[in-house]
């Protein structure tokens, strides 16, 4: 079957809730993917940072296959021999007392919300059903009805109400707005340390430190969604480490499994985790043996292969190079580590056409918020490979809109 036939099947039989590039991938290895017609591409999206360790990493694959032959699922009605060691490894690696495993990122966000609310009622003493959680414009924490209810993106909300109360949206990066919003009923501040879907928005220096101090002052929890920003993406294990703080709850997912299997979790100390008792919260698949084995291997790869340090070094070089690009289209280059947003001027005509041009040059990126090209390769990428990718980006971004067809002519992939 050809690309057009696969696209037609998706369009005919699938819900139209995504607008992907029309490339049909059938195989991946490391930073590379191949489509159904044999064309090779460098993946500069890494499945929204889920594939930090690269496609089909052999060490993670081996853990998946080996455990799948041994034991796959017991539910949490029984214990299994992989969960405890996974807890211990992740806890020691991150410095938090306890782990609560789930499957998807959105599930982990919902878990953090429940933990924060119950902590507010049972520990802080907020009157029942009066707890409020402060959230931020431009946020993206998932797609459940509770989560989209506190999104500032109207499309995410339209047609899905009524929504869960108890959230207040504040301007991202505005410390004074948070200070003014604090009151005794605030259970938590829920925030992405860098906004991914929002366009790789990096808050002002010191912002997270201010939030940490403010949460301490009002005895509220600081909850950081590190589903995309965590696990090496920004050149640290977690993005909050750039400001030298420690949150009360950390939400992790995506690269926690290296892209092989849905695994997510929240990390917190005993004061927060001890609010949960048997029957309060759970998941049939959360913490299953395969998930525990795969996540352990994925974390070991990050550490053993020095991928976090590579992200820091190569990311700094890439951001500096892109900021030096003389392009009529580029408004701003933002990022940290190997997580880069290239915001285009409105008159450039939108980022989609540039991503399509890059596709024809053997590079896969994806637009976000119409005018931003997101660059987030697997962290295993080597300097020579990144240099080649940047050359393709530079070629496309220095072309005039009417020249994009010429600029997108297929080139020999490195």
Active site residues: 140, 225, 254
Sequence-distant (≥ 6) Cβ neighbours of residue 261 within 8 angstroms: 64, 290, 291, 294
**Cβ of 333: how many Cβ atoms within 10 Å?**
21
DSSP state, residue 239: G
3-state secondary structure 139-170: CCCCCCHHHHHCCCCHHHHCCCCCCCCCEEEE
Label the pairing between strands 372-375 and 340-344.
Answer: antiparallel
Question: CB of 266 within 8 A of CB of 98?
Answer: no
CB 61 within 8 A of CB 70: no
Helices (H), 44-174: 46-49, 58-70, 83-94, 105-119, 145-149, 154-157
Whether residue 378 contacts residue 54, with contact meaning beta carbons closer than 8 Å, is answered with yes
Strand partners, 66: none
Rounded CA-CA distance 16/95 in Å is: 42
Query: Residue 396 in contact with residue 358, Cβ under 8 Å?
Result: yes
User: Which residues neighbour 383 within 8 Å (Cβ) at sequence distance 6 or greater?
Assistant: 314, 317
The tokens of 287 are what? 């913490």
Alpha carbon distance 135, 151 (integer Å)? 9
The sign of the CA dihedral 129, 134, 139, 141 is negative
């Amino acid at each position: 079957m050809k690309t057009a036939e696969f696209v037609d099947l998706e369009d005919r039989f699938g819900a139209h809730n995504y607008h992907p590039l029309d490339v049909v991938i059938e195989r991946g290895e490391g930073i590379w993917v191949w489509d159904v017609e044999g064309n090779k591409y460098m993946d500069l999206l890494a499945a929204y940072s889920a594939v930090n360790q690269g496609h089909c990493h052999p060490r993670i694959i081996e853990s998946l296959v080996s455990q799948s032959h041994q034991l796959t699922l017991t539910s949490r009605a029984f214990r299994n021999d992989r969960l405890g060691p996974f807890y211990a490894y992740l806890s020691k690696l991150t410095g938090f007392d306890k782990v609560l495993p789930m499957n998807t990122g959105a599930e982990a966000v919902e878990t953090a919300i429940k933990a924060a609310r119950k902590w507010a009622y049972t520990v802080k003493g907020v009157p029942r059903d009066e707890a409020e959680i402060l959230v931020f414009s431009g946020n993206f924490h998932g797609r459940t009805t509770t989560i989209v209810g506190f999104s500032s993106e109207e499309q995410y909300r339209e047609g899905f109400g009524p929504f869960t109360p108890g959230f207040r949206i504040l301007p991202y990066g505005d410390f004074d707005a948070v200070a003014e919003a604090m009151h005794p009923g605030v259970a938590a501040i829920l925030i992405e340390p860098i906004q991914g879907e929002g366009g790789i928005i990096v808050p002002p220096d010191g912002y997270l430190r201010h939030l940490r101090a403010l949460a301490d002052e009002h005895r509220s929890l600081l909850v950081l969604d590190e589903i995309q920003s965590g696990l090496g993406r920004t050149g640290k294990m977690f993005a909050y480490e750039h400001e030298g703080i420690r949150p009360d709850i950390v939400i992790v997912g995506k690269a926690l499994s290296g892209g092989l299997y849905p695994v997510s979790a929240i990390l917190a100390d005993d004061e927060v985790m001890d609010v949960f008792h048997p029957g309060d919260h759970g998941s049939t698949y959360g913490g299953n043996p395969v998930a525990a084995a795969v996540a352990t291997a994925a974390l070991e790869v990050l550490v053993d292969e020095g991928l976090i340090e590579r992200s820091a070094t190569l990311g700094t070089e890439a951001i500096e190079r892109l900021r030096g690009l003389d392009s009529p289209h580029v408004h701003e280059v933002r990022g940290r580590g190997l997580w880069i947003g290239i915001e285009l001027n409105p008159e450039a005509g939108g980022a989609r056409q540039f991503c399509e041009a890059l596709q024809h040059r053997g590079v896969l990126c994806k637009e976000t918020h119409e005018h931003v090209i997101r660059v987030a390769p697997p962290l295993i990428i080597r300097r020579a490979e990144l240099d080649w990718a940047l050359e393709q980006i530079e070629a496309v971004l220095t072309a005039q809109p009417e020249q994009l067809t010429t600029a997108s002519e297929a080139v020999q992939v490195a």
